[in-house]
Amino acid sequence: VFFWCACCLMVAWWVSASDEHCPELPPVNNSIFIAKEVEGQILGTYVCIKGYHLVGKKILFCNASKEWDNTTTECRLGHCPDPVLVNGEFSTSGPANVSDKITFKCNDHYILKGSNWSQCLEDHTWAPPFPICKSRDCDPAGNPAHGYFEGDNFTLGSTISYYCEDRYYLVGMQEQQCVDGEWSSALPVCKLIQEAPKPECEKALLAFQERKDLCEAIENFMQQLKESGMTMEELKYSLELKKAELKAKLL
Ligand SMILES: *[C@@H]1O[C@H](CO)[C@@H](O)[C@H](O)[C@H]1NC(C)=O
Ligand SMILES: *[C@@H]1O[C@H](CO)[C@@H](O)[C@H](O)[C@H]1NC(C)=O
Ligand SMILES: *[C@@H]1O[C@H](CO)[C@@H](O)[C@H](O)[C@H]1NC(C)=O
Ligand SMILES: *[C@@H]1O[C@H](CO)[C@@H](O)[C@H](O)[C@H]1NC(C)=O
Ligand SMILES: *[C@@H]1O[C@H](CO)[C@@H](O)[C@H](O)[C@H]1NC(C)=O
Ligand SMILES: *[C@@H]1O[C@H](CO)[C@@H](O)[C@H](O)[C@H]1NC(C)=O
């Protein structure tokens, strides 16, 4: 009974622009229409009454040939639009009332990203915004420039390993696991190995060879390394390069 009484509430003004008028718009049930002049143009706004939400165009223009844009605006039951959650569910069904609170839950194998609740506000919107349900499986992994990964399973819990092409070394995590739809670390990068081993490395190695006692030699080596400011990463690849050089000499 309420709806029959509340129907057809419509207020319209048409404001004259120069000498002509914009035609009267067809009424939209359960709405209020407000027209005003903005920078010489007539602008019309539909506002749905309490308990209804707007579907279609909210703001219309009356253009230079005194016509409104073609519109299919409607005010539908429910103060806020019906909630949507693909691959999940929410706590209510049916039209929402102002200040209604709903909670969200994702189906098995999906993880909720965003807020697990939302509330219908006076202005016909939901806040916080609706979450999404994201698959716990990962998207196919990407390849870094000059590198590749091994592994063909991107499902939850799977692992993949990254490798670099010859003459490149990997910076970042080599092993990655699919955890709740995301790879466990950022994509590693492949960096070009510098042609010659760094002189700092050579110096440290010499310091190592100078000593007969292994402990002293290591201490000497570490000291030299510390002074050079070389990172472990740089040291590792300098040594690898040295190894490759020695191998090449033996063949
Ligand atoms: C508007 O409401 C009237 C009366 O309830 C109804 O007859 C009419 O079909 C409605 N119009 C639209 C577009 O829903
Ligand atoms: C005004 O809008 C009508 C309907 O959308 C359109 O047919 C007409 O070409 C428009 N005129 C101008 C001057 O934009
Ligand atoms: C508005 O568009 C609908 C289809 O979207 C069409 O049926 C109707 O005739 C159009 N009305 C005007 C005034 O152009
Ligand atoms: C909204 O309020 C009406 C009456 O007050 C009630 O019947 C309806 O179930 C409410 N809707 C929701 C989604 O709670
Ligand atoms: C919503 O998330 C909070 C923590 O962010 C949690 O404490 C609460 O139980 C969750 N509610 C539901 C219905 O899942
Ligand atoms: C991927 O791994 C999961 C478990 O980690 C396993 O259940 C599934 O069968 C694997 N799929 C393929 C195509 O190998």
**Percent above pLDDT 90 for the chain:** 53
The answer, yes or no, to whether any atom of ligand 2 lies below 6 A from the CB of 63, is: yes
Which fold is adopted by the domain 88-134? Complement Module; domain 1 (2.10.70)
Q: pLDDT (tens digit, 9 = 90+) per residue, 232-251? A: 777 777 787 777 777 777 76
The answer, yes or no, to whether any atom of ligand 3 lies below 6 A from the CB of 70, is: yes
Residue to mutate, 90, 116, 117, ligand 5, most ligand atoms under 8 Å from C-beta: 116
Could you name the CATH architecture of 2-77? Ribbon (2.10)
Q: pLDDT (tens digit, 9 = 90+) per residue, 102-155? A: 999 999 999 999 999 999 999 999 999 999 999 999 999 999 999 999 999 999
111 Cβ partners below 8 Å, 6+ apart? 133, 134, 135, 136, 180, 181
The answer, yes or no, to whether any atom of ligand 2 lies below 6 A from the CB of 70, is: yes
Q: Which long-range contacts (CB under 8 A, 24 or more apart) does 112-120 make?
A: 112/88, 118/83, 120/79, 120/80, 120/96
Inter-residue contact 107 to 152 (CB < 8 Å):
no
C-alpha–C-alpha distance, residues 93 and 111, integer Å: 22
- The reported pLDDT for the residue numbered 228 is 79
Query: Would you kindly state where each structural domain of the chain is located, as residue ranges?
Result: 2-77, 88-134, 147-192, 198-250
Q: Using CA positions, which residue lies closest to atom 1 of ligand 5?
A: 116
The answer, yes or no, to whether any atom of ligand 5 lies below 6 A from the CB of 103, is: yes
The answer, yes or no, to whether any atom of ligand 2 lies below 6 A from the CB of 67, is: yes
- The reported pLDDT for the residue numbered 9 is 36
Q: Using CA positions, which residue lies closest to atom 3 of ligand 6?
A: 155
- The reported pLDDT for the residue numbered 7 is 35
Is the domain 147-192 a CATH 2.10.70.10 member? yes
Same fold: 2-77 with 147-192: yes
pTM value is 0.63
CA of 117 to the centre of ligand 5 (A): 8
Residue to mutate, 155, 156, 159, 176, ligand 6, most ligand atoms under 8 Å from C-beta: 155
Dihedral of CA atoms 97, 103, 109, 112 in degrees, nearest 10, equals 100
User: Which ligand lies nearest the alpha carbon of 112?
Assistant: 5
